[in-house]
Structure 1
Amino acid sequence: MSHSPLLGLNPIDPQDQRVLDEAVEQARAAIAAFDPELIVLIGPDHYNGFFNELMPPFCLGSQAWAVGDYLTPAGPLNVPEELALSMAAYLMDRHFDLAVSRRMQVDHGFSQALQVLWGDDLDTPPVIPIFLNAVAQPGIARLARCKALGEAIGSYLDGLPQRTLVIGSGGLSHEPPVPTMQHPDPAVRERITVKRLPTEADKAAKTERVMAAGMALARGDHWMKPLNPDWDQQWMNTLRHGELDALCAMSEASIAELAGNSAHESKTWLVARAALPSDHPLHCPVYAYRAIPALIAGYGLMFMHT
């Protein structure tokens, strides 16, 4: 599923809101019927927990705390520490040199999915969080490596007795005002390099800046990169049909060029889908998409199961 920091902040078209609300209700019902005993949640960060002083392509958390940015709740995630470390050991044994955080900080890239599906109190089944770098080049995870990681996660989960829900939270096409190391202001480069807790004034200024960017995109202002619904729906349909090798044939450069710098977040979907079988069609009872400029998001939601 997509996420947006502007969900609930910027006004959107009533028809878009209706489609989102219906899709979320369908997903909640499908998840309730599945009754997961474990969640594996793959998400990105937006310089709230991970910074350029040390930016891993992937990181698994054995403990995690949501920072509570925008309208998302703050607090601990329900991480099963020993099981998380067991998964980390399994992946390391299969030559994935992923980082492990004993005190991971996550932002709306993780917490919004849990909030939307379970509520503000984050009272969820046990959840193993896996961070995917989607903003800081050159260490952004490559497509084929995301597929391979998902397959390894799926192999690990096949050995567990728990019914497991794998969530990819991110994307689709979008380019919000997330700074990069190419920013001309050294103070901005320092802010995304050195980890520090933001002040309330910092948070308010960031929220105001992102809200203004969303409204600028909704107006069609030329300085905001437009969404790409065709790219979004091609991405979703390719995953739906399990055509993962075709997706991995896409060039890395084309992702930012066609869908925006932050469209690399869509790779969280690829990791999640690769954890499921791709050699035969899967049930897909929930499938929804809307391009919503005010949210700076091609917003998609898809639920599949074996």
Structure 2
Amino acid sequence: MGKVVAAVGMSHAPGAIGFPETANPSIRTKLETASKQLGSSLKSSQPDVIFAFLDDHFANFFRELMPSIAISVADSHDEPADQWMEALRIDKRTVFPGAPDIAEKMLAALVGKGWGLWIPGRRTTCPVVPIFINVFTPPLIPYWRAYAFGKAVRDAVETALPGETKVAFLATGGLSHWPPYWNEFQASPDDAFLNRMRRYQTEGKGVLEEDPNLFVDFEEYETEMARKNEWPVDKGHHPLVNHAWDRLFMEKFVAGDKEWMTNLTYEEVEREAGHGAHEVLKWLALLGAMRGAPSMLLAYEPVLEWICGMTSVDFEVSKSKADTNGGVKTNGVHA
């Protein structure tokens, strides 16, 4: 029977890696400190495997073939995708070891419970099993379904994994942001760049042979959005970062308010936090995997320069176990 030893969540944004210097120095330091705290939490828990709730960002899956959920059973995973290297100022890809045997057991357990999953095959010291959730190509799974999926993953950890396999959960994405991906409900037919993105999102990597600078232009487009502080469609309604919605979401998340979280709708999130905010579907999966446990908010900052609300959260599993007295459940984890 597997056991959960850590669970963390954090935002991601191209600007945090590609142009971090554009943010206010004190905010950048606060966010980087929180990220290091999450790293320390994972390292000290010594997991045998990390189940990472991720989205693919059109690296492997495209509009013509987009699974709702996919689990990788590959021996290794390398990042970032080629098209992001220059835009993110990265000159060397990182190879993360996979855990195919554990991934296959997880897959079999979930399929046995009625979850239809796609199976993509494809350096840290800990193996990673990516669990991809579609967040950019409607129709998306409902928010309650993402929570239920996370619960099913937790059940599989405790019933299908060998021995005392130590598991960490990680979710990354969000919060509010309007990245320049084409979206059928928000994209203007007159926007030349978004039409280029639509073609890439539909046809795949072959488009880059004809349009090799697409993702360099993607970052320039984002930078211009930040400068103007507006999404180029429906300009009057959307702030690029809706800090009020972000703070409400995190208040509910760290409290483990599963009722509020699972009642979120596609339309509400799209309206209040942008089509990029559907990345919080992965946070719903993480909360489900932790069975609605409360967690600790380490940092939140609205970073307009990165056009994203940035946050870090730790479920502090090891501390919860240490603080448990007489078998009383603390932070949703039994000693």
TM-score of Structure 1 vs Structure 2, range by shorter chain: 0.7 to 0.9
State the alpha-carbon separation in 2 of the partners of residues 127 and 243 from structure 1.
28
Q: 1:218 to 1:298 in 2, by over 3 A?
A: farther
Q: Which residue of 1 aligns with 2:53?
A: 42
State the alpha-carbon separation in 2 of the partners of residues 181 and 76 from structure 1.
34
Q: Which residue of 2 aligns with 1:146?
A: 146
Letter in 2 for 1:152: A
8 Å contact 1:39–1:128 — kept in the other structure? yes
Structure 2: segments with no counterpart, 5+ residues:
1-9, 318-332
Q: 1:35 to 1:133 in 2, by over 3 A?
A: same
State the alpha-carbon separation in 1 of the partners of residues 251 and 286 from structure 2.
14
Q: 1:242 to 1:157 in 2, by over 3 A?
A: same
Q: 1:235 to 1:222 in 2, by over 3 A?
A: closer
Give how far 1:93 is off.
Answer: 0.8
Q: Which residue of 1 aligns with 2:127?
A: 126
Q: State whether structure 2 residue 191 is matched by structure 1 residue 192.
A: no
Structure 1 runs (4+) greater than 6 angstroms displaced: none
Q: 1:203 to 1:292 in 2, by over 3 A?
A: farther
SS in 2 for 1:176: coil
Q: Which residue of 2 aligns with 1:288?
A: 299
Residue deviations 1:43-95, cap 9 Å, x none?
A: 11222211011111101111144325224553543111121111111101111
State the alpha-carbon separation in 2 of the partners of residues 136 and 62 from structure 1.
23
| TM-score normalised by the chain length of structure 2 | 0.77
The structure 1 residue matched to 2:275, chosen from 261, 266, 280, is 261
Over aligned residues, Cα RMSD in angstroms? 2.3
Give how far 1:209 is off.
Answer: 3.0
8 Å contact 1:217–1:294 — kept in the other structure? yes
Residue deviations 1:118-169, cap 9 Å, x none?
A: xxxx32411110111111112x121011011000001111234222111111
Q: Which residue of 1 aligns with 2:182?
A: 179
| TM-score normalised by the chain length of structure 1 | 0.84
Q: State whether structure 2 residue 212 is matched by structure 1 residue 209.
A: no
Give how far 1:203 is off.
Answer: 5.5
Structure 1: segments with no counterpart, 5+ residues:
104-121
Give how far 1:283 is off.
Answer: 5.3
SS in 2 for 1:175: coil
Sequence identity (%): 24
Letter in 1 for 2:142: R
Residue deviations 1:233-278, cap 9 Å, x none?
A: 2222212111112211122200010000110001111101210132
State the alpha-carbon separation in 1 of the partners of residues 33 and 271 from structure 2.
32
State the alpha-carbon separation in 1 of the partners of residues 37 and 16 from structure 2.
18
State the alpha-carbon separation in 1 of the partners of residues 287 and 275 from structure 2.
22
The structure 2 residue matched to 1:18, chosen from 1, 9, 29, is 29
Q: Which residue of 2 aligns with 1:97?
A: 116
8 Å contact 2:181–2:198 — kept in the other structure? no
SS in 2 for 1:288: strand
Give how far 1:232 is off.
Answer: 1.2
Letter in 1 for 2:172: S
Q: Tell me the matched-pair count.
A: 284
Q: State whether structure 2 residue 255 is matched by structure 1 residue 275.
A: no
